Structure 1
Amino acid sequence: MAIFEKYHPIMSAHYTLDWLTTFTVKEVFALRHDATIAQQSGREVDTDLTATVHYINRSMHLVMSNQALLYGIKDRETNQFLGSFCIWNFDQDLSQAQIRFELLPEVQHQGVMSEVLARMVEFAFVELGLNQLVAELPAPNSALTSLLLANHFEQIAIHDGATQYRLKRES
């Protein structure tokens, strides 16, 4: 697998995915400060801008050390920050990884993540050479479940209230 820092920006038909450092801290904070989004993702809420700065710095450290890919999602027409997409928790032989994604409440249910997820699945399998992606939903979420199932993920496990989904690369 190649050096992660070269994998940006990534574009879909309407969106650009780029490092969080290309967005303002306030934009990222709006996403990280939202309690509902944090609960759906199983993470803590950023209580102040400093927490978001630390998060962005940690994220970029993981990218530069080839441990994760974390992108902000931008609408190319409006340049509006919409959310984030992460590929992380790579297995030892770099054939499997976990994905996590979040969108601001005002852009949910508008097809943004359908387009972004399809593009990032293609990227993970073609560019990164992964054989399998896993997504975990820490809390029940019918919209995210429907999104994953529509993109050919299959439910594989339920543990500690979280549901896991898997997508294998077609041979």
Structure 2
Amino acid sequence: MSQFEKYHPILTEHYAFDWLTKARAIDVFHLYEEMADQPITMPATATKINQTMREIFRDQKLVWGVTDRINGHFVGQAGFDPIDLANKEATISVTVTPDNAQDHVLHELYQRLVTFGLAELKLTTLTVHLEQPDHQCEQILTDLGFQLTTTRTYRYQK
């Protein structure tokens, strides 16, 4: 049994992190559609969700779908991708729908991932790669104690 199987749902004050398979496929499809530089299909989305779950159960990543705890709306996807428990390091990824790209949402998601990674997974190094300049995320990461290491790459060292 994967040690990651027990890590769901994970809760914050406003959000629930649960397996992507618990989210509506159409919501995940729309998120992936926003992220993709080329068209994506619903079957490709299902394949990607299944591949993600396989990698979770092989302890290669730990990724959740995120929903609003009040209204149940899909917020995005967040987690550690990849994760290397042997070296106690992981890359944090957070992708939210355009409606949820707000400071308070992103701060709460990043904060929970940092806390969970350090306390529960015993990670010592967390990395975030920003695909493009993002002053909003840069400020949030700096506020959480991350240091800029290279262009758009931030590292948190415990």
Which residue of structure 2 lines up, in the alignment, with residue 80 of structure 1? 73
Gaps of 5+ in 1: none
Q: Tell me the matched-pair count.
A: 157
Query: What is the letter of the counterpart of residue 96 of structure 1?
Result: E
Aligned to 1:31: 31
- Give the % identical residues: 30
Q: What is residue 165 of structure 1 aligned with on the other side? A: 154
Q: Could you tell me which of 104, 125, 134 is aligned with 1:132?
A: 125
**Which structure is higher in RCO with an 8 Å CA cutoff and minimum separation 6?**
1
Structure 1 residue 13 corresponds to structure 2 residue 13: yes
Q: Supply the distance in 1 between the matched residues of 2:76 and 2:101 (Cα, whole angstroms).
A: 10
Contact 1:32–1:45 under 8 Å retained in 2: no
* TM-score, normalization by structure 1: 0.86
Q: What is the RMSD of the two structures over their aligned residues, measured on CA atoms?
A: 1.6
Instruction: Judge conservation of contact 2:79–2:113 (CA < 8 Å) in 1.
Output: no
Instruction: Give the drift of 1:67.
Output: 0.7
Query: Does the residue aligned with 1:89 lie in a helix, a strand or coil?
Result: strand
Compared with structure 1, are the counterparts of its residues 149 and 45 closer, same or farther at alpha carbon in structure 2 (3 Å cutoff)? farther
In structure 2, the partner of 1:95 is 88
Unpaired stretches in structure 2, ≥5 consecutive residues: none
